[in-house]
Amino acid sequence: MTRPRVAVVGHVEWVTHGRGLMPRPGEITYLAEPFDEPAGGGGVTAAQVAKLGAECLFFTALGGDATGDAAAAGLEAQGVTVLAARRPEPHVRAVSATGPDGDRGIAVIGGPVSARIEDPLPWDDLAGCDAAYFTGHDSATLAAARRAPVLVVTTRRLHVLMESGVRADVLIASDDDPVEAVDPAALPVPPALTVWTQGARGGRYEHDGGGTGRWEAAPLPGEAVDSYGAGDSFVAGLTVGLARGLGLEESRHPSIDRSIDRSIDHTHTHTHTTRLTCDGFGWWLIGGLVDWWIGWYADGDYVSGSGDSIVFTV
């Protein structure tokens, strides 16, 4: 099976994760088990694309400080090709606090920064990619990403999509997050397919021609400890499946053998081995599985793949 080439156009933040709660005004709280890493919507997706065995080109922007250098080095260590413009200001940081229920709150320090079309990056390389995912902030770079055969866009950049006049092949929305809600029929240029994630309930999709469907989420292989990066990992799985040329109608009973040698938490105290067979929604369902099974915290390594199957460990 030919290794697909996937572009991610977006942002990356340097994130400090910890267990605990964000303080309310006047409070001081403490976060346990802290650690730092490059993350954010573009960074998480890019790393997961690489973990799923695809070549990943990440078009982004970095601050001109040591933190920007660390963000690039961290992603490159995950197998991502970082194509970054440099900005003179410090790199954007964030703090993610995970509470006892496994959900997280995030505070971003600084505004979102991503590449712009005037940045001297190899934008022509987008035409040679099998798929592109856009979570940037410049409509001209979205138009450049449209040169890829398949374009996936998040509703968090809906205003950029509308400004560009580009037709997305897939628009990723959410039924649980008001920020990611969308009525595709109300858009000036509706996407070919809209996908709404529903967390633990799975999700649903709708073609612009009216066809609809849904999928159920796979059960968690362990205790839900941290939800950070779940939606971005969903996008990575879906985009890689599309880059492999496995569309909705073409997908038939692909199987995924996934050996999970630690649960999705920071303590790494549990071991699980899980096998799952997907049908119907097929490879698109990989995204739904990734949503719940592959956290940004798992060091996933691609092992092998052929035909309709991929085998990898996380």
- Tell me, what's the pLDDT at 1? 63
Residue 171 · residue 196 · CB < 8 Å: no
Range(s) of the domain holding residue 24: 5-313
- Tell me, what's the pLDDT at 128? 97
- Tell me, what's the pLDDT at 217? 82
Q: What is the pLDDT of residues 8-46, one digit of tens each?
A: 999 999 999 999 999 999 999 999 999 999 999 999 999
- Tell me, what's the pLDDT at 247? 65
The CATH number for 222's domain is 3.40.1190.20
Number of domains in the chain: 1
Angle made by CA atoms 116, 208, 206, in degrees to the nearest 5? 95
Q: Which two tokens stand for residue 223?
A: 């205790």
Among 38, 156, 161, 159, CA closest to 145: 161
For strands 255-260 and 272-277, give the pairing. antiparallel
Could you give the CA distance from residue 102 to residue 172 in angstroms, rounded to a whole number?
Answer: 23
- Tell me, what's the pLDDT at 231? 87
Could you give the CA distance from residue 38 to residue 200 in angstroms, rounded to a whole number?
Answer: 26
- Tell me, what's the pLDDT at 280? 34
Q: What is the pLDDT of residues 55-71, one digit of tens each?
A: 999 999 999 999 999 99
Could you give the CA distance from residue 211 to residue 33 in angstroms, rounded to a whole number?
Answer: 46
pTM for this model (two decimals): 0.81
**Positions of the chain with pLDDT lower than 50, given as ranges:** 248-314
Residue 128 · residue 154 · CB < 8 Å: no
Among 217, 237, 213, CA closest to 152: 237
Distance of CA 249 to the CA centre of its chain: 23
